[in-house]
Chain A
Amino acid sequence: MSNVAKRQTSGLDKVLRVALYVCLLAMAAVYLAPFIVMLLTSLKDVEEIRSGTLLSLPGSIDFSAWSKAWSGACTGSQCEGMAPYFMNSFKIVIPAVAISTLLGAINGYVISHWKFRGSDFFFAALLVGCFIPFQVILLPMARTLGWLGIANTTTGLVLVHVVYGVAFTTLFFRNFYQSIPGELIKAARLDGAGFFTIFYRIILPVSTPIIVVTVIWQFTQIWNDFLFGVAFSGFDTQPVTVALNNLVNTSFGGKEYNVDMAAAIIAALPTLLVYVLAGKYFVRGLTAGAVKG
């Protein structure tokens, strides 16, 4: 069967292939352009920015804008740069991601494998939480935080993000756990394991893909959040997004675009890093459970 071995590659095939790559490269360029502009601008000095074009390369690599953005730029009356707010964001994001992910996992486990009367309604009600616009709950949430005595605190922001995140994390985990056969839980119950033992020993060890997905999702959402941050944070608990806004809006004399750009990249760096490190799990996890096998 030697005639099967070689497939004819005609000229047209080659042309189409080249066209495809050109297309893909053009798309990638469109998506990357803003980031490249940011990066280039952050490495130029103010004079160079004013005289050159957006895409002109910097004459010399100059990191002074970065160090200013990190520790010297003024955000309002304070001139400590992004560093303290960067830390604030971590203080909010780490507990909020951890708690909302854990709660979502337990919720999903209950809704998919320990159904109770009304559990489907409970799940539907939780789903509604995914569709409530953030703005709608600003006032009631402010009242609630005040009533709880945690207004303007990091704890308060963590609570807001956990409450808002649980709807999504529950949905993620429930859909994933739906594909775990119920017989597995039955077998464990007959073996003598209880609710939490089954969760800890059998369910969690197979949950890595969905945990990664949820953590990435929650991390990005909470890190990038501006509205809750600006509404519920105090003077010294502002997250990095709010600080970035203040930094860009505070100017003495000329606008320092290089510092603004460096600050913006700093603010985006953690989410970028999370995607680079765990991105392949993200796609894999999102499609897990969608197809059997």
Chain B
Amino acid sequence: MANLVIENVKKRYGQTEILKGINISIEAGEFLILVGPSGCGKSTLMNSIAGLEDVSEGRILIDNNDVTYSSPKDRDIAMVFQSYALYPNMTVAQNISFGLEMRKVPKDEREAEVQRVADMLQIGHLLKRKPAQLSGGQRQRVAMGRALARRPKMYLFDEPLSNLDAKLRVEMRTEIKKLHQKLGTTIVYVTHDQIEAMTLADRIAVMKDGEVQQLGTPQEIYDNPTNLFVAGFMGSPAMNFVPAKVVEQNGAFALELQASKPTVVPFPDQESLKPYLGKEILLGLRPEMITEPQPHKEGAEFVVTADIDVEVTEPMGADTMVLTRISEAEVNCRCNPVYPTKAGETIAMMLDTSKAVAFDKDTGERIDR
């Protein structure tokens, strides 16, 4: 168990700056996820924490010790790689105990540790096999076993699930979460999959172009994204961005949209809209904020019913996604499957803007709250 502090870490390759001053600090036992599109620097940051790459500037502290210039083996961390990186010439048991052997742990202790880890991950029957004789999911388990065996202060996971098929990925995701709850060890986990990020993390750092865009709990990031990038990256289907004109109506600021007909919707944070009166902003609406009319919400504050033109419907079982167009922007709505929706028809939908967010059209920054 160890806390992790990353202070103003920069990484340059010649002229190009890969990390542009990263500041992240997490408590011992937290599950931190670094998420972002490819090329955002998340893997470089991970390698810097592991000590596999030197940083150009800044400090990294693990368990309050400055490890910025320590070699990987002295940092007491273990890593699970995307390709699993199992030693092909060794059996599963040898793979798991290699790190212990390097640390000169006596043979009987090593064997006991291999047994403990194998029991925990249910890979006891695989111990004598070579990695080439294992399936993808089994290799994944062995890779985790190798990390677990050393009982390090911190685990690093570098996109560990992206080589697995969809079903196995969901299973292993749960497995990793269970493991974290059981061990309570600090974990840093890199992924580009925002669902993995939401489901696993205590805290998420959303990265783009070598900068942390936002660091927060999954719910904070989902409800209160700081800019258009974070809002668009997290959530599936993504948040809808609807161009809206700020107007004054009955002494309050409101937003004018073009659904089937022009519609005016209220907005919670009045102050923020003031400087934008008469101008266009981007209104961020999650798909679940646009639903079929729900009687219990009827007449509530920030709830408006409007007609929309259905372009496409996508039944997903639990919900039906309705694709429409509001103010020229494509918009996904989440409906109850029993609500009759049909492509080409105009239907009534309920817009709930109580948790909607607003962004400056030019800078992409959040303007409300």
Residues of chain A having any CB pair with chain B under 8 Å:
181, 183-184, 186-193, 197, 201-202, 205-206
Q: Which chain A residues border B252 with CB–CB below 8 Å?
A: none
Q: Is the CB of A191 within 8 A of B98?
A: yes
Q: Which of A183, A189, A191 has the most CB of B within 10 A?
A: A191
Give residues of chain B (78-113) contacting chain A, Cβ–Cβ below 8 Å. Answer: 78-79, 81-83, 85, 87-89, 98-99, 102-103
Inter-chain contact total with CB atoms closer than 8 Å: 56
Give the distance to chain B from A209, nearest Cβ to Cβ, in Å: 13
Question: In the assembled complex, which residues on chain B have CB atoms less than 8 Å from the CB atom of A188?
Answer: 87, 98
In the assembled complex, B237 has its CB within 8 A of some CB on chain A: no
Which of A181, A184, A192 lies in contact with B102, CB distance below 8 A? A192
Whole-angstrom CA separation of A184 from B52 in the bound complex: 12
* Residues of chain B lying within 8 A (CB to CB) of residue A181: 83, 85
Interface size in chain B (residues, C-beta < 8 A): 22
Least CB separation from A185: chain B residue: B85
Q: Determine whether the beta carbon of A189 is less than 8 Å from that of B72.
A: yes
| Interchain nearest-CB distance for A66 vs B (Å) | 44
Which of B50, B73, B146 gathers most chain A CB within 10 Å? Answer: B73
| Chain B residues within an 8 Å CB radius of A197 | 102
Whether B264 is near chain A, meaning CB under 8 Å from some CB there, is no
Give the contacting residue for A189; candidates B52, B82, B89, B150; CB below 8 A: B52
| Cβ contact of B85, chosen from A186, A192, A201, A205, cutoff 8 A | A186
* Docked pose: A201 CA to B99 CA in angstroms: 12
29 A-B pairs with CB atoms under 8 Å apart are A181-B85, A183-B85, A184-B87, A184-B88, A186-B47, A186-B50, A186-B72, A186-B81, A187-B81, A188-B87, A188-B98, A189-B52, A189-B71, A189-B72, A189-B73, A190-B73, A190-B78, A190-B99, A191-B73, A191-B99, A191-B146, A191-B150, A192-B99, A192-B102, A193-B73, A201-B87, A201-B98, A202-B87, A202-B89
Cα separation A35 to B346 with both chains bound (whole Å):
89
Chain A residues with CB under 8 A of B351: none
List CB contacts (< 8 Å) of B11-50 with chain A: 47, 50
User: Would you call A190 and B83 a contact (CB within 8 A)?
Assistant: no
Point out the residues of chain B lying under 8 angstroms from A191, CB to CB: 73, 98-99, 102, 146, 150
Q: B47 contacts which chain A residues (CB < 8 A)?
A: 186
- What residues of A have a CB within 8 angstroms of the CB of B78 in the complex? 190
Q: Which residues of B contact A190 (CB under 8 A)?
A: 50, 52, 72-73, 77-79, 99
Docked Cα-Cα span, A206 to B90, in Å, equals 10
B103 touches A192 (CB 8 A): yes
Q: Which residue of A lies closest to B98 (CB)?
A: A191
The residue on B at minimum CB distance from A181 is B83
Give the chain B neighbours of A192 by CB distance below 8 A. 73, 99, 102-103
Closest chain B residue to A207 by CB distance?
A: B89
